[in-house]
Homo-oligomer: A and B are copies of this chain.
Amino acid sequence: MELKDLYSNSTSTMKSSLIRELVSSTKGIPNLISFAGGFPSPKTFPVDDLANLFKEVIIENGLDILQYGASEGDIQLKKALKHWEDNSELSDNEMLIVTGSTNGIYYFVKTFINPGDVIICEGPSFLGSLVAFEACGAEVVPVNMDEDGLIIEELENTIIRLKNEKKNIKFIYTIPDFQNPTGVTLSYSRRKKLIEVCISHNILILEDDPYGLLRYKGETIASLFDISRNEYQNKYIVTCVKSFSKILGPGLRIAYMMAHEEIINKMSSWLQKVIVSPDCVAERAVAYYINEGKLENHVKDIQEFYKPYLESMLIALEKYMPKEIRWTKPEGGIFLWLDCPEHINTDDLFEVSKNEKVTFIPGSKFYPSNYEKFNSLRLNFSFPSHEQIDEGIKRLGLLLSKQL
């Protein structure tokens, strides 16, 4: 017998993370400067605070939090989060604690997607979500962005075209703040238009917000979740997922969702079958961290920490990039996006750049199947040092110059 004859269809056709393979192809290159990562800087992790908190939390609550926990999530963490969100109208039934954003997104997909249903996303978008969507049988259709995010006219045209094709569009997946991979933020006026379009077409919105707190300049824009509730009195159209991965450390696997209570209820039923409950010790530790008032200051510290790296990156790009190259100017997050002339293929550039000891993620990896574009790339600025940013962008600028 061959095992492959036994695999489910979705397993046989499943894509693995191309990014992981790319990154591992550069492992072992000495002195490599990497802009490929998507990791927060470990220097931002509140190690000592968490070490003490975990001990405190287990001593004080061990008999409770080492036991099976509620599938809907720790009630104490929900209480702390409502306070943190400054949203007294949010009920416990409108929140779900999940083991990382990707986990929450998975339950949303399982709640709504039948094989063949359509999910519309930004083009480009976060690869991790795209492969999960496709693994669940969704057809994923991208809509172009500009410097203000998703282009609403293109979205409307896409919706109409898909509806004419009798496609079943279930939801729009968007990362409105400092988007992965572009760093672009959806403007306030587009947020409103997006909500209006979705209400009129009966299409849900999944708002993925892992970077919202990482704003280094400019004004915070209200979330789609808040706008839909406060300005449209609509409680079902937007489901929002927020994460502590970029704030306290992804190793903790704690994120939370806010949604209509019916949606929370269905996602919670899936959660029960997939993980039973989130890690109760980590949940309570995060609750303590918030309750002890540490989160607000820590977020400010992280913003101060990352801001100079974004500035270094923007300065280096200005200094070293040929004039034909354009890039986004994010006000936060950990990524920005480089657009090259059409004839440049960044999949090829990736191979060449390894020899020059600099690396990035080719833009093609951030599109759904059959929609790949090849003349752009993603740069991460949260992991390399200032010196590495300067030297790495210099190398990349030289490489690009040669190809123009």
Contact = CB atoms under 8 A, between A and B. Distances in A.
B270 A103 contact: no
Nearest to A66: B249
A245 B262 CA distance: 30
Contact of A62 (B9, B51, B69, B204): B51
Nearest to A262: B3
Interface in A228-274: 236, 245, 248-253, 260, 262-263, 266, 269-270, 272-274
Interface in A17-33: 17, 20
Nearest to A15: B269
B278 A253 contact: yes
A282 interface: yes
A157 interface: no
A281 interface: yes
A10 interface: yes
Interface stretch (A53-61, A172-180, A331-339, A352-360): A53-61
Given A9-B114, A273-B132, A263 B102 contact: no
Q: How many copies does the complex hold?
A: 2
Contacts of A135: 270, 273
A99 B99 contact: yes
B45 A62 contact: yes
A401 interface: no
A350 interface: no
The 5 closest A-B pairs by CB, nearest first: A66-B249, A47-B62, A251-B280, A51-B58, A54-B54
30 contacts: A1-B202, A3-B262, A6-B112, A8-B113, A10-B114, A14-B266, A14-B270, A39-B67, A42-B63, A48-B59, A50-B62, A51-B62, A52-B55, A65-B251, A66-B251, A68-B250, A68-B251, A99-B99, A102-B276, A103-B275, A106-B273, A128-B272, A135-B270, A135-B273, A250-B276, A251-B280, A252-B279, A253-B275, A253-B277, A253-B279
